[in-house]
Structure 1
Amino acid sequence: MKLRPGFVVELAVNFLLPWLAYRFSLPHFGETGALIASALPPIVWSLVELARFRRVDALSLMVLAGIVLSIAAMAFGGSPRVLLLRESLVSGAVGVVFLLSLPLRRPLIFYLARATVAREMEGGAAHFEVLWRERPGLASSMRLMTLVWGAGLTCETALRAWVALTWPIGRFLVVSPFIGYGIYGGLALWTLWYRKTMRSGVDESVQPDGMGG
């Protein structure tokens, strides 16, 4: 998919605006208030999507779930170790949800991809449904991507949790970003490579038979 304005707006509303709301609210309302403030942009976006298209935005739901988990994790206390573990809680929960969706008729990535396509083109959701029914390769590809992302996010959380519980806090703060960005970067690069491979396969399948019998 091309990077279109609608997709950029979606990313800004669900990631940039929550972060800005959190940073600006933190000095005035504390951590709990700042987390609640960060939930407002995706909530408003979800309501707009529901009013316009009669559906709830899947990406916004994931972001809101992460914020709710962060607020809930604060109930476990404020020890340094707990705070470090809370940082990894969201990605781990998302990874588990990815894996749990694998046995379902439609894995989680299906809904994320359909929502994006629906926003990028008129009748995109219906078109994506047709592709899903008529191209078995699309379903298997979506399941593989769900598996890889689910396993990657779950392993990232497990590794960071182990480091948070066993290493000195200062060392964790130095190494943790490299773990997170390294795994996220690896998943992103794999996704780009896999999409390119899928496109090459589709292009070859629609080519006419070779010349010369």
Structure 2
Amino acid sequence: MKLRPGFVLELAVNFLLPWLAYRLALPHLGETGALIASAVPPVVWSLIELARFRRVDALSMMVVAGIVLSIAAMALGGSPRMLLLRESLVSGMIGVAFLLSLPMRRPLIFYLARASVAREMEGGAARFEALWQERPTLGPALRFMTLVWGVGLTGETALRAWMALTWPIERFLVVSPFIGYAIYGGLMLWTLWYRKSMRSRAETRMPTDGIAG
């Protein structure tokens, strides 16, 4: 992979600028004000990306939810360390939602996968609904994916909560984004591998079926 300028810019916005904003604002605004200032660069970046692509994606939703949680924490007299947990609380709630959907007839991953297939191919949503009915192995596989994502996201929240409550704030700001990206990246890579593995097994069982993913 080549180190693209856009990728370098994204790293700077999400890693360097929040730390720099915190350091510059701390003497003037205190810890709470400095934490709010540290959230400005990634929030502005997300808004710019939203304006460019004209759609609300998962990242934008998490950023907006994080802002709402921050405002709520401030209104309730939240401490600086509680403000550190704003993004983690969002991912934790999503993880809990994944886990709570496991006993349901269709787990949460089903709807995300159907939306993904609908974007990839004409009539993708109907095709995915048909596969859900025709492939008895699809349901357990999607439930397993839901379980993995639920455990991963709630585990990420638990880890970052421990870090936020026990580490110095400056160290948390530097290290926490790397941990979050590592966990999300690991979940995405595992999902791509598992999806490919599912497709290979299906094509092995029914080589003439012509499954398209």
- 1:70 and 2:67 equivalent? yes
Q: What is the alpha-carbon distance in structure 2 between the residues aligned to residue 188 and residue 106 of structure 1?
A: 21
Gaps of 5+ in 2: 1-9, 18-36, 209-213
Alpha-carbon spacing, 1:183–1:45, altered in 2? closer, same or farther (3 Å): closer
Q: What is the alpha-carbon distance in structure 2 between the residues aligned to residue 160 and residue 139 of structure 1?
A: 32
Give the structure 1 partner of residue 4 of structure 2.
none
- What are the Cα deviations for residues 110-134 of structure 1, in whole angstroms up to 9, with x where unaligned? 1111112222222211111110011
Give the structure 2 partner of residue 3 of structure 1.
none
Give matches, 1:118-129, under 5 Å.
118-129=118-129
| Alignment: residue pair count | 170
Alpha-carbon spacing, 1:63–1:138, altered in 2? closer, same or farther (3 Å): farther
Q: Report how far residue 203 of structure 1 moved.
A: 2.2
Give the structure 1 partner of residue 98 of structure 2.
98
- 1:139 and 2:139 equivalent? yes
Q: What is the alpha-carbon distance in structure 2 between the residues aligned to residue 72 and residue 202 of structure 1?
A: 43
Alpha-carbon spacing, 1:136–1:66, altered in 2? closer, same or farther (3 Å): farther
- What are the Cα deviations for residues 46-94 of structure 1, in whole angstroms up to 9, with x where unaligned? 7xxxxxxxxxxxx66x853662353144222263212211131221111
Give the structure 1 partner of residue 167 of structure 2.
167
Contact 1:70 1:89 in 2 (8 A): no
Give the structure 1 partner of residue 28 of structure 2.
none
Give the structure 1 partner of residue 183 of structure 2.
183
Q: What is the alpha-carbon distance in structure 1 between the residues aligned to residue 100 and residue 91 of structure 2?
A: 14
Structure 1 stretch displaced more, 72-81 or 188-197: 72-81
SS at match of 1:136: coil
Q: What is the alpha-carbon distance in structure 1 between the residues aligned to residue 186 and residue 55 of structure 2?
A: 30
TM-score (norm 2): 0.66
Structure 1 stretch displaced more, 108-117 or 69-78: 69-78
Contact 1:102 1:146 in 2 (8 A): yes
Taking only aligned residues, the RMSD between alpha carbons, in angstroms, comes to 3.4
- What are the Cα deviations for residues 16-44 of structure 1, in whole angstroms up to 9, with x where unaligned? 9xx9xxx9xxxxxx989x97994xx59x7
Contact 2:92 2:154 in 1 (8 A): yes
Q: What is the alpha-carbon distance in structure 2 between the residues aligned to residue 93 and residue 63 of structure 1?
A: 16
- What are the Cα deviations for residues 159-193 of structure 1, in whole angstroms up to 9, with x where unaligned? 00110001111221222122112211221221122
Contact 1:102 1:143 in 2 (8 A): yes
Q: What is the alpha-carbon distance in structure 2 between the residues aligned to residue 63 and residue 105 of structure 1?
A: 29
Gaps of 5+ in 1: 1-15, 24-29, 47-58, 209-213
SS at match of 2:103: coil
Give matches, 1:35-54, under 5 Å.
38=47, 41=50, 45=55
Q: What is the alpha-carbon distance in structure 1 between the residues aligned to residue 168 and residue 69 of structure 2?
A: 25
